[in-house]
Chain A
Amino acid sequence: MKTATSAASGWPFSTVLVANRGEIAVRVLHTVQKLGLKGAVVFHAADRNAPAVRMADHAIEITGATPVAAYLDSAQILAAAKSCGAGAIHPGYGFLSENTGFARAVESAGLIFIGPKPEQIELMGDKVRARNFVEKGGFPVAPSAIEDDDPKTFVERSRNVGTPLLIKPSAGGGGKGMRIVRDLSVLEAEIERARSEGQRYFGDGRLYCERYIENPRHIEVQVLGDSHGNVVHVFERECSVQRRFQKIVEETPSPALTPQLRAQICETAAGIARSAGYRGAGTVEFIFGQGGEFYFLEMNTRLQVEHPVTEEITGKDLVLEQLRIAAGEPLGYAQGDVSSQGHAIEFRIYAEDPGRGYTPTTGPILALRAPQGDGIRWDSGVVQGGEVTAAFDPMIAKLIVRGTDRNDAIARAEKALAETVLLGCKTNTAFLRRLVVHPAFVAGDVHTGFLDANPQIAADPPMADETLHALLAAASLSTRPMRDAADCVPDLHAAIGEWRN
C-alpha cells in the first residue's frame, strides 16, 4: 500500500464522516485515519462510550425516538457533516447505506456519497427491476412464471420453468401454501391445491412459480467499479451457513467452485456490474445449485459485512478502494492484476443464544479478550466495560481467520474461537466452534438450510461432570459468601477436615 498521506493528497475531501456505528464505523475510520484524513462519526447516546466515538477526530451526537431512528435521520447526519467540515460521507452497511434518497441528499448538499450513484442504488433496490435488468443483459436468473403477467398461460409458463419447481401464493409468506413439484404430471393438481391454500390462508388465490433449488448455496462476488468505467471483480465469497436467513460464516474461496466455475461466476458478476456502469464497491449475490447451476439473486450496492475475507486473500483494502473511487481516482489496475492467495473465513460473533433458537442476549461486557496470532483479525465495535443492549443488531464483532488453505484456516479458527473471551453476555462462539469442526462444514458440504436441518449443532451439548465441577469450583471460589465462609474456618480445623470421633 502507498504511504497514506501522499495517497490522499489532492482528494476533494479531507474529512470523512461515517454515518454508522459499531464495528463498521471503527473499520472505516481505521482506513480514513491511516490515509491522513480526518475521521468523523455520528453517535447516539447509547453508543457514547463505543470505540468508534473514542477513535474519531470528531464525534457528533445525534438523537432519535429510538437509537436506530437516530442513525436513520439523514437531516441530522447532513448537519453533522456540515458541522465538522466533512467532504464525504461513508454510510457503512445497513442504516442509510442503500437509501437512494439519502445518497441524493448527500450529493445535493454538495458532499460526496461514498457509494454508487443514486440511480444504481435505486435500480438494484427494486428486486423486480433488478432481475429484469440482469435477465435482459443475458445473465442467468432463476426461471419463473408470475400468474398475474398472463393468467391464461400460467400453467404453460410454469411447465417451462422446469422441475423441481416451487409454487408460492403471491400474497404469501412463512412457507404457507407452498408446494414443491418434482413431476410435471401433477403440476395442475398442485397449482389448484396451492391456490386453495392461498385462498384459505391469505384470502388471495394468485400464485407464482419459480425453479426450486434444492439445498442451495449462497455465493456472492465482490466487484469494484470506478467513475471511469473500469470494473473488476475481487473474487467470490460463500455465505451458505445461515440462520434465519442471516449469514453467520462467510469464506473465500468457495469450497463449492471448480476453477472454471469460479471464473465463470466471477465474470458473470463483473459483467452485471459493467452493464450497469457500476461505480464503487458492490456485491452480486447468486443462488448456487448442487448441480453447479447459479442464478442472480440480487446486488448489494454497499460494502458488505463479510468484506474482510476478500481483503484477507487479496491484500486489497476495500474501504481504501471505496475512498479512492469516491475521490475520482481510476482503479489503476486490470482484472489480471487482482489475485488471491490462501483461504479466509469470517465468523460473526452474535450476542445470542443458539441453544434457545438464537434469541438475542444482552448484558455488560465484563471481560473481553480478542484472539491473537498469525492470520487472526478481530473487527469489533465493543470493548470491555461496554454493554450489549437490545437497541441494535446483536452482531458485536467479527473474527476473520486466514490460512494457507481451508483446512489450515479451520484449524486456526477453532483455536481462535476457543481463545475468544467475552464474559457477561452470552455469545455464539461455542456454537461456532461446534460448527467449524462439524464434518459437513469441514467437507465444505453446506447449504443455506444446513443449520435448520442440523439443529443439534445449535443445541447446548450435555455437560461432562468434570466441566460442571470445574465451573462450580471457579464460581464458588469467586463468590464472596462462599469463599468468606470457607476462609473463616481456622487453620487447624481446615487441616483436620471432616473428622468425626
Chain B
Amino acid sequence: MKRIESKLNTASAEFLANAAHNRRLAEEFRERQRKARDDRPQRDIDRLRSQKKLLVRERIALLLDPGTPFLEFSSLAANDAYDGEVPGAACVTGIGIVSGRECVINAGDASVKGGAWYPLTVKKTVRALDIAIENRLPVVHLCDSAGGFLPLQADLFADKYMAGRIFRNQCILSKMGVQQVSVVLGHCTAGGAYVPGLSDYNVIVRGTGAIFLAGPPLVKAATGEENTVDELGGCDMHTTTSGTADYPASSEEEAIAIARDIVAQFKRPKKTHTEWQTPEDPYYDSSDLYGILPRDIKQQFDMKEVIARLVDGSRFHEYQPAYGTTLICGYAHIWGYKIGILGNNGVLFNDSSLKGAHFIELCNQNRTPILFLQNITGFMVGREYERRGITKDGAKMIMAVSCSEVPKFTVMCHGSFGAGNYGMSGRAFDSRMLFSWPQSQTSVMGAEQAANVLADVKIRQLAKSGRTLSQADIDAIRDPVLGEFKRKQSAYYTTSEIWDDGMLDPVDTRNALGMSISAALNTPIGDPRYGVFRL
C-alpha cells in the first residue's frame, strides 16, 4: 500500500485561515464540553460531598484501568434542550477498559438534578445499552439517580425506545451472555431498582446505597408503614436478607474496587478475526485536519487529505481511482485494523453510486469493516441523471449499506444533506458508531435552499390570493425559517438530540475509530446477504 501524497500547502493563506477557524471551533467545543462536565452549582457539589459521594467522573476514574482511554459518548447530549439545564443529559456513558475488558460504562450524574432521568437521559442510556448489545460489551452501571423526571414523564416512560427499553436491553444482554455489574451508589427507586436487579452482579454501598420499588415516603403514603431507608432497602438488608444485592461495601472506593474485581472474573470473548497488522502512526500530522476543513460549508475539499491524517502510515489502496471519482473508495488500516473507506469528493453520480455499492459488497465479501467519511450534498438530480437511473443506482447503494454485515462507522466530516446521508450510512443505518465534527451540518437539504423552497411556497400561496410581497415581507418569511434550519442542522443540535454518538475534535477521530473498531470485533460478522438490488 502506498502512501497518499498530500497536495496540501500548509503555508498557504487558505490553509492558515482554515486552521485558525477550525481550531477556534475545536476550542469552543472543548469549552462547551468542560462546562457540561464540570460546571455545577456549588450547592449540588456540596450536597454530594456531605453525603460522602464522589462525583461521577471521579467514580469513572476509579473504575477504569489506569493509563487507558475512555471513549465517551454524547458528551454534549441535551446541550440544546431543557434550557441547557441538563448537561450531558445527566449521565455519562462510554467505552472504557475495566480490568482489561472493554466495557460500556453507564453512570448517572447525581450532580445534575440529582441524576433524574430526562427524556434525553433515557435516550442516551438506551443508546449506550444498544452499543453494548451490538458490540457484545459487558456493562458497568454506576447507579445514582433520583428517578424519572415526572413533569416530562410522558416523553420518557412508555414508548418503544423509552425507559422500559433500558430494562429490556439489560435482559437481552443477559440473554446474549453479556455480563453486567451494577454499583449502587445512591438510591435506585422504582424503575431504577431494576438496573441492579437485572444485573448479573451488583455491589451496594452501606449508608448511601439503597434499592426499593418505593421509598419510605411513598410506602408510608400507600400503606402507612414507617421505614428508614436502610430498613427498607439498605446495603445490609439486601446483602444479608433479600439477596437483591450481592456485595456490601463500606465506601464508594471499596464498591468500585469490588466491581473491578467482578469484571476481572468475566471471560474475555475471542474477537472476530479481521485483517490486522502492527499499527503505525499516520505519516501526516492529524492537526493538519484543521487546515483542510473549509470555513464555508459549500466549499469542497479533497477527502483523501483527510484519509491521510487518519490511517496508519497515511497509506491507502484506492479502488477504481479513475471511475466515479466523486466517491473515493479504498482500503487502509486504522490502529492496525484493516478498514474499507468510502469518502465523498463531490455529489453522488450514477457511477460513484455503483462504485460505492460494489465496494461495500467487496468489503462484506472479505470481512473488512467500513468507514464512511461524509461530506455529501446528495445524489445528483436532473433529467439526464434520472434517465440514467440515479434513483435506482442510489437505491443499490442504500441497499448495500443497509444490508452490510460488516460493522460500519460514520464520521460527519462536513455536510450531510439529503439522501446522501442515507447512502453514506447515516444514523438510521445502524453504524456501530457515528461521530460528528464541530462544523458539520446535517439536514434534508441546505438551509438556504430549504428556506428558499419554503419562502417560494408561501409566496405562491399568497400570490394565489392576489397579494404581492415586498422584499421585506419575503425576508420576514424566509429569515425565521433560515434561522431555525441553521440551528437544527448544526452539529450541536444533532449531538444534543443524540443523532450521533458524540461530537469529536477532528484530531481525536483516529483514536475514537480505533476503539470503535476494536469494540465492534467482539461480535461475529455474518455472511454477506442482501435484499433485491434494482439492476
Contact = CB atoms under 8 A, between A and B. Distances in A.
A and B touch in the complex (CB under 8 A): yes
A180 B178 CA distance: 84
A499 B504 CA distance: 13
A501 interface: yes
Interface residues of A, number: 16
B335 interface: yes
10 contacts: A486-B65, A488-B101, A488-B264, A490-B100, A493-B518, A498-B66, A498-B68, A499-B69, A499-B511, A501-B75
B279 interface: yes
Contact of A492 (B66, B72, B518): B518
B71 interface: yes
B512 interface: yes
A493 B94 CA distance: 14
A497 B505 CA distance: 17
B97 A490 contact: yes
A495 interface: yes
A497 B102 CA distance: 14
A338 interface: no
B69 A498 contact: yes
A485 interface: yes
B382 interface: no
Q: Is the interface of B mostly helix, strand, loop or mixed?
A: loop
Contact of B515 (A487, A496, A498): A496
A493 B336 CA distance: 12
Interface in B84-131: 97, 99-102
A500 B69 contact: yes
A489 interface: yes
A501 B512 contact: yes
A501 B97 contact: no
A194 B397 CA distance: 111
Interface string A458-501: 00000000000000000000000000011111101111111111
B515 A485 contact: no
B70 interface: yes
Contact of B514 (A486, A487, A496, A500): A496
B456 interface: no
B88 to A, nearest CB: 13
Interface of A: 485-490, 492-501
Contacts of A501: 70-72, 75, 502, 504-505, 508, 511-512
B466 interface: no
A497 B515 CA distance: 11
A490 B67 CA distance: 12
A496 B72 CA distance: 14
Contact of A489 (B75, B97, B279): B97
A314 B423 CA distance: 97
Contacts of A496: 68-69, 335, 511, 514-515
Contact of B97 (A487, A493, A495): A493
Given A494-B67, A500-B69, 10 more contacts: A485-B99, A486-B65, A487-B100, A489-B65, A493-B69, A494-B68, A496-B68, A498-B68, A501-B71, A501-B511
A500 B72 contact: yes
A500 B505 CA distance: 11
Interface of B: 65-72, 75, 97, 99-102, 264, 279, 335-336, 502, 504-505, 508, 511-512, 514-515, 518
A489 B515 contact: no
A265 B505 CA distance: 86
Going nearest first, the 7 A-B pairs with the smallest beta carbon separation are A488-B100, A499-B69, A496-B69, A501-B508, A493-B68, A493-B97, A489-B100
A489 B97 CA distance: 7
Contacts of B279: 492, 495
Given A489-B65, A495-B279, A500 B70 contact: yes
Contacts of B264: 485, 488
Highest count of chain B CB atoms <10 Å: which of A489, A492, A495, A500: A492
Contacts of B68: 489, 493-494, 496-498
Contact of B99 (A488, A495, A498, A500): A488
A481 to B, nearest CB: 10
Contact of A490 (B71, B102, B511): B102
Nearest to B271: A490
B482 to A, nearest CB: 32
Contacts of B99: 485, 488
Contacts, number: 66
B508 A490 contact: no
A19 B518 CA distance: 71
Contacts of B512: 501
Contact of B336 (A492, A494, A500): A492
Contacts of A493: 65, 68-69, 97, 102, 515, 518
Nearest to B336: A492
A498 B66 CA distance: 7
A494 B336 CA distance: 14
Contacts of B504: 501
A490 to B, nearest CB: 7
A174 to B, nearest CB: 49
B156 to A, nearest CB: 27
Contact of B518 (A490, A499, A500): A490
Contacts of A490: 97, 100, 102, 518
Most central of B71, B75, B504 by chain A CB within 10 Å:
B71
Contacts of A497: 67-69
A467 B333 CA distance: 42
Contacts of B97: 489-490, 493
Nearest to A497: B67
A494 B97 CA distance: 10
Contacts of B508: 499, 501
Contacts of B336: 492
A500 B71 CA distance: 6
Contacts of B100: 485, 487-490
Given A485-B100, A501-B505, A501-B508, A492 B514 contact: yes
A498 to B, nearest CB: 5
Nearest to A488: B100
B259 to A, nearest CB: 14
A489 B504 CA distance: 24
Contacts of A494: 67-68
A485 B64 CA distance: 11
A499 B96 CA distance: 10
Contacts of B69: 493, 496-500
Contacts of A499: 69-70, 508, 511
A486 B264 CA distance: 12
A498 B75 CA distance: 17
Contacts of B71: 501
B65 A492 contact: no
A437 to B, nearest CB: 40
Contacts of B335: 492, 495-496
Residue of B97, B99, B504 with most partner-chain A CB within 10 A? B97
Nearest to A501: B508
B504 to A, nearest CB: 6
A488 B68 CA distance: 11
Nearest to A496: B69
Nearest to A498: B67
B108 to A, nearest CB: 19
A85 B511 CA distance: 81
Nearest to B503: A501
A491 B292 CA distance: 31
B515 A492 contact: yes
Counting chain B CB atoms within 10 Å of each CB, which of A489, A493, A495 scores highest? A493
Nearest to A495: B279
Contacts of B102: 490, 493
B509 to A, nearest CB: 9
A146 to B, nearest CB: 69
Contacts of A489: 65, 67-68, 97, 100
A485 to B, nearest CB: 7
A11 to B, nearest CB: 70
A372 to B, nearest CB: 40
Nearest to B95: A493
